[in-house]
Structure 1
Amino acid sequence: MEGNSEAGGHTAAAAGRETARATRRRGAALEQAILDAAVEELAEVGYQNLTMDGVAARAATSKNVIYRRWPNRAALCVAAYLRMLPTDPEDTPDTGDLRSDSLALLHRVNNRMSSRLGKILRALLADFEDDPERVSALREQLGGASVGPWLTMLARAAARGEVGSAALTPRVATVAVDLLRNEYALNGLAPVPDSTLVEIVDQVYLPLVRGLS
């Protein structure tokens, strides 16, 4: 019986190794699993309580695998957040009208900022507040990730003759987003009302971009 038990143990171990080999992920699939796990951990426990061990367990991988890709949990968490942002310019609203496109894009940003992703970002910024360089790096990365859709929208508007080429700069393109972020900073975490989004677009954004030639 003892021999059978030992043989059964070897069989189970072999089966486990086979399963592990069959489900082993590499490259982009593995990185996506790790980043997804990091986002889930951030949502549940926050940045301060997040550990590489917790992320590794959720992603069904090892801590060493994570460290080979990201040197610390801050780098991992920033990468996880950035991965969740939309980056496909073809996904930018394209109604044929700059005002409609601007409102649609600003609504999308507002929805994201009031969602779990927005909560994660605010937690990261709060937890990094004693590290100005890290906050600056995060803001720079976020700016690079968010400017694409706005530049795409303005380039389409320029092709239609709605704005001049001088409007096609990152600083001008993201003015509406900057004003929206300011609303969150000043007034709390609730979604910004639609009426405020309309004011941002009609009273500030459109006069600015249309006034540049």
Structure 2
Amino acid sequence: MTAGQETDHRRRPRRRGPALDEAIFQAVLDELAEVGYARLTMEGVAQRARAGKASLYRRWPTRIELVMDAVYSRLPDPSAPPDTGSLRGDLLALLRANAEALAGPAGEAMRGLLSEALADSEVIARVRRNSQGATLRTMREILRRAVGRGEIDPAAVTDRRMEAGHALLRYHFLFNGTPIPDQVITQIVDEVLLPLFRSPTCPPSTGRAPAADG
């Protein structure tokens, strides 16, 4: 493609809104699969999506923001997680879906985002806000159902407990790669999550030693 052709906007399809977003996000995922995160560029995405580079920069000032939006566009809706009728079934379905996503472009994006974020505290804070926000919304809905079924006590639902399963899944992914064995997912659910949510919360420590008897 010549420089003149590349900048001739009349040759591009006139797309706006969701149609343009879909084309851009698909281009990001295709670029991730083909060249990896390290070699992904805004120019390459614009060319593949047949979109104007300036329009990408107006909406996504950085590659990180564009990649995060593209990846999250393909993940399950955090407000509507799987409903199998039991807490164990819901947790297994959720972690399996996440493991499958990590085996594709989302996993490549996560590796790249984390490596880039480690050098920039502002970037890593943005990545953490996005990932934890989706995780907590999904887990909160699953646990709301479990409370309604009488499987767990509402007091057992805390932010730290809700983050545990995804944290362990990401840890295995980063250090062992993909595919994540189903046995690992089952162990996370049966050995960690179910005991966590079925156990009572401990009262906060007062920092004082217990009073002596007598």
From 191, 199, 206, the counterpart of 2:187? 199
Match of 1:76, SS state, is: helix
Percent identity reads 41
Alpha-carbon deviation of 1:149? Answer: 2.2
State yes or no: 1:35 paired with 2:11: no
**Structure 2 partner of 1:51:** 41
Query: What is the CA RMSD across the aligned residues, in angstroms?
Result: 2.1
Shift of 1:69: 0.8
Cα pair 1:85 1:145 within 8 Å, conserved: no
Consecutive unaligned residues in structure 1, runs of 5 or more? 1-15
Residue 4 of structure 1 aligns with which residue? none
Deviations 1:77-107 (A, max 9, x none): 22222222212533x2222211122112122
Paired with 1:206 and 1:150, the residues of 2 have a C-alpha distance of 13
Residue 190 in structure 1 maps to residue 178 in structure 2: yes
C-alpha distance in structure 1 between counterparts of 2:147 and 2:46, whole Å? 47
Whole-Å separation in 2 of the counterparts to 1:73 and 1:93: 31
- Report Cα offsets for 1:17-42 as digits up to 9, x if no partner: 5x85xx41112221222222122222
Given the superposition, is the C-alpha separation of residues 73 and 182 from structure 1 closer, same or farther in structure 2, using an over 3 Å criterion? Answer: closer
* Alpha-carbon offset, residue 50 of structure 1: 2.0
- SS of the residue corresponding to residue 48 of structure 1 reads coil
CA distance in 2, matches of 1:29, 1:207: 45
Are the equivalent residues in 2 in contact too, given 1:163–1:212 (CA < 8 A)? Answer: no
Match of 1:209 in 2: 197
- C-alpha separation in 1, matches of 2:37 and 2:78: 28
Distance 1:77 1:153, change over 3 A: same
Q: Which has the higher helix share?
A: 1
Deviation at 1:71, TM superposition (A): 1.2
Tell me the SS of whatever aligns to 1:182: helix
Quote the residue 1:117 is aligned against: 106
Q: 1:184, CA displacement in angstroms?
A: 2.2
2:68 is matched with 78
Alignment correspondent of 1:12? none
* Distance in 2 (alpha carbons) for counterparts of 1:74 and 1:99: 34
Counterpart-to-counterpart distance in 1, 2:179 and 2:168? 14
Q: Pick closer, same or farther for the CA change 1:50–1:199 going to 2, 3 Å.
A: closer
SS in 1 for 2:37: helix
Structure 2 segments unaligned to the other structure (5+ residues): 1-8, 202-214
How many residues matched? 193
- 1:11 aligned residue: none
